[in-house]
Amino acid sequence: MSELWEAFLQAIQLIVTLNSEVVEIALRSLAISATAVVLASLVCIPAGGLIHFRNFQGKRVLINIIQTFYSLPTVCIGLFVFIFISRAGPLGELGLMFTPAAVVIGQMVLITPILMGLTISALSGVDKAIKDSALSSGATEFQAIWTIIKEARFAVVAAFIMGFGRAISEVGAAIILGGNIRGYTRVLTTAISLETQKGELVLALALGIILIALALIINVIVNLALQRY
Amino acid sequence: MTLLKTAQLGYGADCKTFLRNITFEVERAEVFALIGPTGAGKTTLLRLLNLLDTPTSGKIYFNGQDTAKSTQLRLHIRRRMAMVFQKPVVFNSSVYENIAYPLKVRGCGRKEIQTRVEEMLQITDLKGYEKRRARTLSGGEAQRVALARAMIARPELLLLDEPTANLDPVSVSKIEEVLANTIREQKTTVIMATHDMSQGQRLADMIGVLMNGEILQIGSPSEIFCSPSNKEVAEFVGVENILSGIISQKDGALVTINVDGATIEAISEFAVGDKIYVIIRPEDITFTLAKETSSARNVFQGEIARMTTVGQLVRIEADCGFLLLGVVTKRSAEELNLNLGKKIYASFKATAVHVIK
């Protein structure tokens, strides 16, 4: 137990002294997951808006499928994307395998259902009369969707942060697609996994603390956003 | 000139029919009131006219154009009209932003928006509210914001869905004043749904009576209130003295109607044996103490069963074998010394009787 405590103290020291490797891995994690969530949001939030806005056959089934995919195992997504971008895959020529871009793609696929589903839920909470008022005021379909998103802005922000939380904390896709290459594709989760296996508990713990701290910050932001909503 | 026309309009969803065979026309600068009980389909019809929902059958023509032609045309036409909903709806932003919305989505410039919003704030008596969050307003204030938002883009057609329902009397009169001014000054065409008969009468040029998803009668307010086309309309518009009877004789246009054993003479197109309803307006009934010789074809002896004083008028229900309601002034009632149980004669002309099926 005392060993663990010592490791914890050393880990804190690594963070406080801004150990270059720890900082580098944390920043890369943030950059990759932030890119993934921003790119995915650009597609998923409007797409969620469109699904909410339009009435079509199979809408409920589609929403059910999206919600089912919330809990898709990350390794499955890693495998799925791997098939597409590996040398022999249909997108193999792009040479994306074992690059940060591959991890971004994996995380984007992972959080797409969450972003889309939570956007749909957020917009469903907006009074239907808002949509009618927007259209009645002369808004185009896109303008009306944008108005509804603005009405549900806090819940949509919450969806964005939830997506980010899921992206930064996943390990399966990052390890399969990124390959955990030191100084290139190594992110917090893959590093923790590796360092733990190597017995480098101090470093693993320091990275773990950072990851949990990030998760905590994200949670605080989500709660603040939801309170305001 | 006709601005809006519907042809055989129908709407149904989930195996239910909400509207059927709706055909009517609204002229430019006309105020058309849709009256009918709650659940008659007024809101559904207004939503179809605002092109928010698509009819399951029939057509809507705006300024002669078929609105079903294309999505682009629907947007273009929708931008020439505006709707105020029954429940005040405001966006979660400032009053200014709310009122400016229709101009923003039309891509108007900042300067123009500012001028027009100022103008609307003035008209709707909302000056000083522009920075307030619209969600913090009272129901009446929020409805005025909704009205300002509807009018800012100067729509050719204004659709109002019971805009004053659930509001306090002061808010109602404020909103009605704004509406009346707009109608007068801008010659806006208005279609308004209401279940408030007096509001329909006050504001409308034409009235359509919508019941159970069908338009039963269209006419001027006096036509609707004096000559309802059938018993449902008569009952809804508050006509008193609706008596059921059978036509027993016919001599040209003059018919004799058997009502509970008594005979009433009237002018009607219906044939002998037809089951009909007789409508007599209370103002057309004269009460006398003795049987007098007059041109009135219908004179019945009865006794006063009930008397109710309403302001300067007294409503008298006379039992003549059937109940007849008439109205006299308070002074006449005093001079004739009318009181409960008193024997009187009630008379009315054959031409004052309206016969419906």
A18: helix, coil or strand?
coil
Asked if A26 contacts A210 with a C-beta cutoff of 8 angstroms, the reply is yes
Asked if B266 contacts B241 with a C-beta cutoff of 8 angstroms, the reply is no
Question: Mean pLDDT across the stretch A9-17?
Answer: 85
CA distance B105 to chain A (A): 5
Residue at token pair 């749904």 = B193
pLDDT digits (tens, 9 = 90+) for A151-187: 998 889 889 988 999 999 999 999 999 999 999 999 9
CA distance B59 to chain A (A): 19
Contacts of A72 (CB under 8 A, 6+ apart): A110, A113
* A223 or B22, greater pLDDT: B22
Which amino acid is it at B255? V
pTM of the complete model beyond 0.90 = no
Confidence at residue A223, expressed as pLDDT on a 0 to 100 scale: 77
Report the domain count for chain A. 1
CA distance A148 to chain B (A): 9
Q: Hey, is the C-beta of B86 within 8 angstroms of any chain A C-beta?
A: no
Residue at token pair 């390794």 = A75
Residues of chain B with pLDDT under 50: none
| CA pair distance B352, A139, nearest whole angstrom | 53
The topology under which CATH files domain B242-356 is OB fold (Dihydrolipoamide Acetyltransferase, E2P) (2.40.50)
> Comparing C-alpha atoms, which of B293, B281, B289 is closest to residue B332?
B289
Dihedral (Cα; A173, A174, A176, A180), 10-degree rounding: -170
| CA pair distance B82, B89, nearest whole angstrom | 13
- For chain B, the structural domain boundaries read 2-235, 242-356
> Comparing C-alpha atoms, which of A25, A22, A29 is closest to residue A103?
A29
Q: H helices of chain B, where?
A: 42-49, 71-78, 95-105, 110-123, 139-151, 169-186, 197-203, 221-226, 231-236, 330-335
A224: helix, coil or strand?
helix
pLDDT digits (tens, 9 = 90+) for A182-212: 999 999 999 999 999 999 888 888 889 889 9
Structure tokens at A126: 């907006």
> Comparing C-alpha atoms, which of A184, A168, A14 is closest to residue A97?
A184
- Judge whether A97 lies within some domain: yes
Interface A-B: count of C-beta contacts within 8 A: 55
Dihedral (Cα; A167, A172, A176, A177), 10-degree rounding: -10
- CA angle (B54 as vertex; B50, B55 as ends), nearest 5: 105
The topology under which CATH files domain B2-235 is Rossmann fold (3.40.50)
- A134: which chain B residues are within 8 Å (Cβ-Cβ)? 91, 101, 105
Confidence at residue A217, expressed as pLDDT on a 0 to 100 scale: 85
Nearest chain B residue to A55 by CA: give it.
B53
CATH number (domain holding residue A122): 1.10.3720.10
Q: Is B164 left (phi over 0), alpha (psi -120 to 50) or beta?
A: alpha
Strand order in the sheet with B157-161: B81-84, B157-161, B189-194, B31-35, B206-211, B214-219
Asked if B264 contacts B322 with a C-beta cutoff of 8 angstroms, the reply is no
Confidence at residue B295, expressed as pLDDT on a 0 to 100 scale: 86
Asked if B326 contacts B282 with a C-beta cutoff of 8 angstroms, the reply is yes
Confidence bin at A224 (pLDDT 50/70/90): confident
| CA pair distance A169, B217, nearest whole angstrom | 67
| Burial (0-12, 13-18, 19+ Cβ within 10 Å), A27 | exposed
- B91: which chain A residues are within 8 Å (Cβ-Cβ)? 130, 133-134, 147, 150-151
- Judge whether A88 lies within some domain: yes
pLDDT digits (tens, 9 = 90+) for A68-96: 999 889 999 999 999 999 988 899 999 99
pLDDT digits (tens, 9 = 90+) for B277-312: 999 989 899 999 988 888 888 999 999 999 999 889
Residue B312's H or E segment, with its range, is none
- Judge whether A129 lies within some domain: yes
Confidence bin at A226 (pLDDT 50/70/90): low
Domain that holds residue A69: 20-228
- Judge whether A12 lies within some domain: no
Contacts of B88 (CB under 8 A, 6+ apart): B139, B142, B143, B145, B146
Q: Hey, is the C-beta of A132 within 8 angstroms of any chain B C-beta?
A: yes
Confidence bin at A1 (pLDDT 50/70/90): low
- Judge whether A192 lies within some domain: yes
